Amino acid sequence: MATILVTGGTGTLGRPLIDRLLGDGHDVRSLSRRPHTGRERPRLRSYAVDLRDGTGLDEALAGVDAVVHCATAPAGGDTEAAGRLIDAAKAAAVPHLVYISIVGIDRVPLRYYRAKLAVERLIEDSGLGWSVLRTTQFHDLVLMLVKAGARSPVLPVPAGVRVQPVDVREVAVRLAGLAAGAPAGRVADFGGPEVLDARDLVRATLEAGGRRRLLMPLWLPGGTFAALRRGGILTPEHADGTRTYAEFLAERGGTPN
């Protein structure tokens, strides 16, 4: 069994990934900006490290066999944080760095996507053994966005946009397998089982939560939405996930208030 460090260990992906790694018998180190509470258990050690400055990172990396980099900041700073992690991993002679990325970062001109692509390139050029997995949007993200929009009685929906949501636990299984194996470079994308129109996703989410909202389709201008309408965030040839968005909603009991 291996010793594996997970950055962003308290996040949406980090938690199920740690659970999976522990279930597979690995020793796991969880790294996040704030101290963990209530999660300590055999074979799990927690480190409060902020990748924005890297203090304490050397201790967390000492003796690990692989790092899975899940920590991310959509508001900015991913490239700098990844640079610090890479430098520290090289100093610690870490054999394998695994990175979770997003389908379409080379096709959709979002600033956040450009940062993710820059991190991929840093990892590829690092001299470390590496693996990169791109996935489609998590079910949880779709739910969060619809919930935020549903605060208003009129909910705008981008026209012509399709989404291929994937279950985060299935992504965790894929990442755990990569982390336990040899560096594999850029692996096949991992997408959800269905490509769905954004309007259908919004309607299903509202119905599951017992909400009624007026949906307003909007044809949004600009390069980002043009790329989305072209299917820039889809990977239908890799619809490898099995849990549908409807099943996710049923499990959650609808949308929380």
Answer yes or no: is 226 within a domain. no
Residue 155, pLDDT score:
87
The residue range of the domain holding 108 is 3-136+168-186
Answer yes or no: is 144 within a domain. no
Residue 78, pLDDT score:
95
Helix pair 198-208, 245-252: axis angle to 10 deg: 20
Task: Give percent above pLDDT 90 in the chain.
Answer: 80
Question: How much is the pTM?
Answer: 0.93
Best CA proximity match to 174, nearest among 132, 235, 216 = 132
What mean pLDDT comes out for the span 194-207?
A: 94
Out of 16-25, 72-81, 148-157, 209-218, the most confident range is 16-25
* 154-158 and 214-218 strand pairing: parallel
pLDDT over 80 (residue 38): no
> What are the distances in angstroms from CA 60 to CA 2, 50, 131?
15, 12, 20
Answer yes or no: is 147 within a domain. no
Residue 215, pLDDT score:
85
DSSP 98-152: EEEEETTTTTS--HHHHHHHHHHHHHHTSSS-EEEEEE--BHHHHHHHHHHHTTS
Answer yes or no: is 148 within a domain. no
pLDDT confidence bin for 256, thresholds 50/70/90: very low
Answer yes or no: is 207 within a domain. no
Amino acid identity, position 207: E
d(CA 187, CA 119): 16
Answer yes or no: is 149 within a domain. no
d(CA 103, CA 164): 10
Cβ density class 43-57: b for 16+ within 10 Å, e for less: ebebbebbbeebeeb
- Read off the CATH number of the domain in which 93 is found: 3.40.50.720
d(CA 64, CA 80): 22
Contact at 8 Å (CB) between 69 and 7?
yes
How many structural domains are present in the chain? 1
Amino acid identity, position 77: G
Maximal C-alpha separation, the chain: 55
> What are the distances in angstroms from CA 121 to CA 7, 23, 74?
19, 32, 18
CA 39 to chain CA mean position, Å: 21
126-177: per-residue pLDDT in tens? 999 999 999 999 999 999 999 888 888 888 899 999 999 999 999 999 999 9
Answer yes or no: is 20 within a domain. yes
